[in-house]
Amino acid sequence: MAAAAPPPPPSAAPEPSMAPPETTPIGHPIFTRIRLATPSDVPFIHKLIHQMAVFERLTHLFSATESSLSSNLFLSPPFHSFTIFLLELSSSPIPPLLSPSPSFTPIEKTFNFDIPLNDPESDAFSIYYGNQQVIIGGFVFFFPNYSTFLGKPGFYVEDLFVRECYRRKGFGKMLLSAVAKQAVKMGYGRVEWVVLDWNVNAITFYEQMGATVLPEWRICRLTGDALQAYQNANV
Amino acid sequence: MAAAAPPPPPSAAPEPSMAPPETTPIGHPIFTRIRLATPSDVPFIHKLIHQMAVFERLTHLFSATESSLSSNLFLSPPFHSFTIFLLELSSSPIPPLLSPSPSFTPIEKTFNFDIPLNDPESDAFSIYYGNQQVIIGGFVFFFPNYSTFLGKPGFYVEDLFVRECYRRKGFGKMLLSAVAKQAVKMGYGRVEWVVLDWNVNAITFYEQMGATVLPEWRICRLTGDALQAYQNANV
C-alpha cells in the first residue's frame, strides 16, 4: 500500500528561480484515497451509477433512486454483503477520516501528472473535510459470491466506474486491485466480474492483468412478469 | 404452495378387489419437501457438489471439503448470504421439522409416478426422522446479488443439482421456483444464473420458463497466482 507522499520539506524544494523546468518538472500532484462508502455517500453513489448507465447506453434499465439504494445498502458489515469503495481525489493531501472503519484501512496513492486534470463537474462531486475540498472520482461495487467447487467465497464486482475526466490514469486499476487485495486478505479464492464480448479494449486490459475470460458461460436472467409467474411453477 | 397430500381416509380407499387397474391407477407416490439446509447437512452437501463436479467433468476444479464448507457456510441468517435449499423425498408423508426456521416455511408437493424410482445410492443420502427414512435428492445453492441499475438485490443461483435417478421429473423446476418465490417474497428484482452455451437443452428449458439468456456478457475471473499478484497492482 502506498502512503500519501507528504509535501517535501522546504529545504528540499528548489527555489523557483533555480529550477530549470526541463530537469525538475514539478507537475500536478493528485492525492487519492480509496475508502469505504457510508450511508451519507448515497447521493454521490446514485449520480455515479446514473452516469454509468448513460455511458453504457442502458438508461432504459435504470430505475435506482437514492431511496432504493439507502433502503438496501449498508445493512451488513463491510465485505459481508454489498460493499462500495469510493475513489477520492484532491490536489492537496487528504485529511484522515474522523471515523475510520475498523474493517478497512484506506488505500492512498499520489499521482503526478504533466497537466492538471480538468473536472467540469467538481461541484457536484465534492466533499469537504473541514475546509478542504475532495472530489469523488469513481467507485467499485462488489459483494461476496461463492464457489462450491473451491468450497470458499470470492468477490463479485458488479460495477467499476471512473468518471470520464479521470479515465486512462490508472484509477480503475487502483480500485480493482483494492478489491483483489481485500479478497486475498480474507482468504477468498476469486474475484469475478462480467464484460461485454465486443468490448475488445476491456478484454485486452483484463487479460493483461492476469484475468481469464470464460468463453462458454452465458448469464440467464429471470425478472419482471416471468419471475412473478415462475414462483408458482411448483404448485 | 402445495401441501403434502394426506393419505386418503380408509373409507375413500377402494377395496383392492374392486379397483380395476385401468381406471384407478394407484401409482407410486413420492412425497417431497424443500427445506433450508443446516450445518448438520454438510456431509450431504459435500457429496452432492462432488457428484455435480463429476457430471460436469470438472473434478479437476473440485477442492471443497466438508471442513471448508462448514467454515464459511451458515454464518449469516438464511437469504442474507449463502443459502441452500435441500430436496427431500420419501415414499411416505415426511414428518414436520422439529426445529423449523422462522425464515422459511418448507414447500411440500406430492408426485405420483407410474413406476417406482430406483435409487442405487439411497443409503448414502438418507436422513432418519425417528424411524422414517427420507432421501436427499438434490439442492440449490444461492445468495444475494445486486443490480445497481434497479437499485435492489436479486438472487444468484450458483448451483442447481438433482441426483441422476431423480432427473426429468420436475424436481429441478421445483427447486428453482422455490428460489423465485423467495425472491418475490423479499421484493427482489431478479434471479440469475449461468449456463454453458453448448447446453442447448438447458437453454431451451430456461427460455421456456421465461428466462432471458444474455448473449453478449462474458465472465472474467481473477484467481490463483494472478489474484495474488494483482492485489499489489496499485502500489
Query: pLDDT tens digits for B187-196?
Result: 999 999 999 9
Residue at B111 is within a domain: yes
Give percent of chain B above pLDDT 90.
Answer: 80
pLDDT value at residue A235: 54
Amino acid A5 reads A
Q: Measured between CB atoms, which of A49, A189, A231 is closest to B177?
A: A231
Q: Which residues of A touch B170 (CB under 8 A)?
A: 234
pLDDT value at residue A16: 42
Q: Into how many domains does chain B fold?
A: 1
Residue at B150 is within a domain: yes
Element (H, E) at A107: strand A107-113
Mean pLDDT of chain B: 89
With helix as H, strand as E and coil as C, how does B164-216 read? HHHCCCCHHHHHHHHHHHHHHHCCCCEEEEEEECCCHHHHHHHHHCCCEEECC
Active site residue B166: no
Domain CATH for B120: 3.40.630.30
pLDDT-based confidence at B235, cuts 50/70/90?
A: low
pLDDT-based confidence at A21, cuts 50/70/90?
A: very low
Mean pLDDT of chain A: 89
pLDDT of B143 > 90? The answer is: yes
pLDDT of A105 > 60? The answer is: yes
pLDDT-based confidence at B234, cuts 50/70/90?
A: low
DSSP letter string over A28-87? Answer: EEEEEEEEE--GGGHHHHHHHHHHHHHHTT-GGG----HHHHHHHSSSS-TTTS-EEEEE
**Cβ of residue B216 closer than 8 Å to a chain A Cβ:** yes
pLDDT of B18 > 90? The answer is: no
pLDDT value at residue A44: 98
pLDDT-based confidence at B220, cuts 50/70/90?
A: very high
Q: Which of B100, B104, B95, B110 is nearest to B4 (CA)?
A: B110
Please tell me the distance from the alpha carbon of residue B163 to that of residue B166, in angstroms, as a whole number: 6
Is A221 close to B192, i.e. CB distance below 8 A? Answer: yes
Please tell me the distance from the alpha carbon of residue B234 to that of residue A172, in angstroms, as a whole number: 10
Domain that holds residue A71: 28-229
Q: Which residue has the cell 469510493?
A: A86
**Cβ of residue B37 closer than 8 Å to a chain A Cβ:** no
Q: Which residue has the cell 459481508?
A: A80
Please tell me the distance from the alpha carbon of residue A110 to that of residue A210, in angstroms, as a whole number: 25
Q: Measured between CB atoms, which of A190, A197, A235 is closest to B1?
A: A235
Question: What's the pTM?
Answer: 0.86
Q: Which of A87-96, B17-26, B88-97, B137-146 has the lowest mean pLDDT?
A: B17-26
pLDDT-based confidence at A233, cuts 50/70/90?
A: confident
pLDDT-based confidence at A77, cuts 50/70/90?
A: very high
What value does the mean pLDDT take over residues B211-220?
Answer: 96
Query: pLDDT tens digits for A25-70?
Result: 568 999 999 999 999 999 999 999 999 999 888 899 899 999 999 9
Q: Where are the beta strands (DSSP E) in B37-151?
A: 83-90, 107-113, 126-129, 132-147
Catalytic residue among A129, A146, A156, A206: A206
**Cβ of residue B131 closer than 8 Å to a chain A Cβ:** no
pLDDT value at residue A127: 96
Bridge partners (DSSP) listed for residue A159: A141
**Cβ of residue A70 closer than 8 Å to a chain B Cβ:** no
Q: Please say whether the beta carbons of B48 and B111 come within 8 A.
A: no
pLDDT value at residue A3: 35
With helix as H, strand as E and coil as C, how does B42-62 read? HHHHHHHHHHHHHHCCCHHHC
pLDDT of A220 > 80? The answer is: yes
pLDDT value at residue B136: 98
Mutate to test the interface with B, among A80, A227, A235 (most CBs of B within 10 A): A227
CA separation (Å) from B152 to A59, B146, B161, B189? 16, 6, 27, 7
Q: Using CA atoms of A139, A145, A149, A150 in order, give the dihedral in degrees to the nearest 10.
A: 60
Q: Measured between CB atoms, which of A1, A181, A227 is closest to B191?
A: A227
pLDDT-based confidence at B7, cuts 50/70/90?
A: very low
Q: Which residues of B touch A149 (CB under 8 A)?
A: 49, 53, 58, 61-64
Q: Which residue has the cell 425478472?
A: A223
Q: Which of B147, B118, B108, B113 is nearest to B3 (CA)?
A: B108
Alpha carbon of A122: minimum distance to chain B alpha carbons (Å)? 23
Alpha carbon of A188: minimum distance to chain B alpha carbons (Å)? 9
pLDDT of B21 > 70? The answer is: no
Q: Please say whether the beta carbons of B180 and A227 come within 8 A.
A: yes
| B:149-168 residues touching chain A, CB 8 A cutoff | 149-154, 156, 158-159
Is A229 close to B215, i.e. CB distance below 8 A? Answer: no
Mutate to test the interface with A, among B185, B230, B235 (most CBs of A within 10 A): B230
pLDDT of A17 > 60? The answer is: no
Q: Which of A142, A212, A219, A225 is nearest to A182 (CA)?
A: A142
Q: Please give the residue of chain B at the shortest CA–CA distance from A156.
A: B145
CA separation (Å) from B25 to B2, B33, B90, B92, B111? 22, 24, 19, 18, 13
Is B183 close to A141, i.e. CB distance below 8 A? Answer: no
**Cβ of residue B232 closer than 8 Å to a chain A Cβ:** yes
Residue at B168 is within a domain: yes
Q: Which residues of B touch A141 (CB under 8 A)?
A: 146, 148
Q: Please say whether the beta carbons of B89 and B137 come within 8 A.
A: yes
* Cell reading at B221: 475471473
* Cell reading at B162: 438433482
Residue at B1 is within a domain: no
Is B235 close to A49, i.e. CB distance below 8 A? Answer: no
Give percent of chain A above pLDDT 70.
Answer: 88
pLDDT value at residue A2: 33
Please tell me the distance from the alpha carbon of residue A84 to that of residue B93, in angstroms, as a whole number: 47
Q: Which of A153-162, B19-28, B136-145 has the lowest mean pLDDT?
A: B19-28
Residue at B177 is within a domain: yes
Is B219 close to A214, i.e. CB distance below 8 A? Answer: yes
What value does the mean pLDDT take over residues A92-107?
Answer: 94
**Cβ of residue A208 closer than 8 Å to a chain B Cβ:** no
Alpha carbon of A192: minimum distance to chain B alpha carbons (Å)? 4
Q: Which of A21-30, A174-183, A185-194, B197-206 has the lowest mean pLDDT?
A: A21-30
pLDDT-based confidence at A9, cuts 50/70/90?
A: very low
Residue at A12 is within a domain: no
Q: Measured between CB atoms, which of A1, A144, A216 is closest to B197?
A: A216
Alpha carbon of B26: minimum distance to chain A alpha carbons (Å)? 21
